[in-house]
């Protein structure tokens, strides 16, 4: 994909920042939009930066103006702890963003809109066992997502279907399954399991322990960011108009994921379990049959991808530690004790 005018919303977030960088490096004009900027990519990765609240229609019109393609990744979201606790704000914010972006794309005659949906749309009754069957796109109905975030994403999919039928909006929809990689959130409550576990292991002592949420036997599949980006662009350039799984079909337990990270660290770390912590569904995996028919499958192994994440988070933690050490040293002689 080259030579196009492209908008990436949510460009201050994890997937959005990586996508904007990739599209910019492929000689596109990239307009990057977000309400705040907290990604970790240092070098410039866009042609134009706008700080906008996309919950307002006039800002959406401003964002999409003169664009060929729009990649809408703006959302109020986070890991399992966040989406378990927060419901109303997620549904309010994301519904406004997605509706106004669709409406603005029509008004400004954008050629094609990409929407980032989620595997959270899949019904709980198909995810009650750890040895879960890979979820096909058609498994979304009858609907019963396990959280408000999932319901909001499913509603947005149907809304775009209606915009397509009634007004001819050309949209592409990807259902992301646990996308991970470096330069993303790894602390603060919005991080997802790979980053959280990498942070815990990196912070642990040589013979320490880490906390696992649940019994560790819940299962997930994880897709590395580089593979995800290739899948996004493949879908955007294709003629496929139905929702599509973008993920991995390699199912692992959280215990297995933790063991991979511990092995990379070289530490002798024990695991303890918090059975009262948020866990989400018991098992979730992606069926990639349709994606493969369109010419895409993930290529980066879990071990390779997790190693990249672990090394990056370890580096970030060391920077924080060094900064604190420098601060303590510089202020050590400035303490004044009153008589």
pLDDT tens string, the chain, 339 residues long: the values are 899 999 999 999 999 999 999 999 999 999 999 998 876 666 678 999 999 999 999 999 999 999 999 999 999 987 777 878 889 999 999 999 999 999 999 999 999 999 999 999 999 999 999 999 999 999 999 999 989 999 999 999 999 999 999 999 999 999 999 999 999 889 888 888 999 999 999 999 999 999 999 999 999 999 999 999 999 999 999 999 999 999 999 999 999 999 999 999 999 999 999 999 988 899 999 999 999 999 999 999 999 999 999 999 999 999 988 877 776 555 555 544 433
Q: Considering Cα of 113, then 161, then 179, then 72, what sign does the dihedral take?
A: positive
Cβ count near 138 (within 10 Å): 10
Task: Name which of 69, 50, 54 is nearest 108 in CA terms.
Answer: 69
The four Cα atoms 19, 21, 22, 24 give a dihedral, to 10 degrees, of 120
Q: Where are the beta strands (DSSP E) in the chain?
A: 5-9, 29-34, 48-51, 69-72, 112-118, 171-176, 179-180, 209-213, 219-220, 223-224, 244-246, 252-253, 270-274
Q: Where are the domains of the chain?
A: 5-316
At residue 78, the 3 state secondary structure works out as: coil
CB 120 within 8 A of CB 153: yes
- Beta partners for 274? 213
Q: Is the peptide bond before 157 cis (omega within 30 degrees of 0)?
A: no
What is the Cα 53 distance to its own chain's centre? Answer: 19
- DSSP H stretches of helix in 73-210: 80-85, 88-107, 148-167, 193-203
pTM for the full model?
0.92
CATH number for 5-316 (one of 1.20.1580.10, 3.40.30.10, 3.40.50.1390, 3.40.50.720): it is 3.40.50.720
Pairing, β 209-213 against β 179-180: unpaired
Supply the residues annotated as catalytic: 149
Q: What is the pLDDT of residue 324?
A: 73
In terms of DSSP bridges, do strands 252-253 and 219-220 run parallel, antiparallel, or are they unpaired? antiparallel
């Amino acid at each position: 994909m080259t030579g196009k005018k492209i908008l990436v919303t949510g460009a201050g977030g994890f997937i959005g920042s990586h996508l904007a960088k990739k599209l910019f490096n492929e000689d596109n004009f990239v307009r990057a939009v977000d309400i705040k900027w907290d990604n970790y990519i240092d070098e410039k990765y866009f042609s134009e930066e706008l700080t906008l609240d996309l919950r307002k229609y006039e800002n959406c019109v401003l964002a999409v103006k003169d664009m060929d393609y729009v990649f809408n990744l703006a959302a109020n979201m986070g890991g399992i702890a966040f989406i378990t606790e927060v419901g109303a704000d997620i549904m309010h914010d994301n519904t406004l963003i997605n509706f106004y972006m669709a409406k603005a794309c029509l008004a400004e005659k954008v050629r094609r809109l990409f929407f980032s949906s989620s595997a959270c749309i899949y019904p709980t009754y198909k995810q009650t066992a750890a040895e879960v069957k890979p979820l096909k796109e058609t498994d979304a109905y009858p609907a019963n997502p396990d959280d408000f975030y999932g319901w909001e994403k499913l509603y947005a999919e149907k809304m775009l279907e209606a915009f397509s039928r009634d007004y001819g909006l050309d949209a592409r929809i990807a259902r992301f399954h646990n996308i991970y990689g470096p330069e993303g959130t790894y602390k603060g409550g919005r991080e997802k399991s790979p980053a959280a576990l990498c942070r815990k292991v990196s912070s642990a002592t040589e013979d320490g322990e880490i906390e696992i949420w649940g019994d560790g036997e819940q299962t997930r599949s994880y897709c590395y960011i580089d593979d995800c980006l290739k899948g996004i662009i493949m879908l955007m350039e294709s003629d496929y108009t139905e929702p599509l799984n973008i993920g991995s079909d390699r199912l692992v337990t959280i215990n297995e994921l933790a063991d991979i990270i511990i092995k990379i660290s070289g530490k002798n770390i024990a695991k303890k379990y918090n059975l009262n912590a948020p866990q989400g569904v018991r098992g979730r995996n992606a069926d990639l049959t349709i994606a493969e028919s369109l010419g895409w499958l993930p290529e980066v192994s879990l071990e390779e991808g997790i190693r990249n994440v672990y090394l990056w988070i370890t580096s970030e933690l060391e920077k924080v530690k060094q900064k604190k050490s420098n601060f303590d040293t510089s202020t050590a002689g400035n303490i004044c004790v009153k008589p």
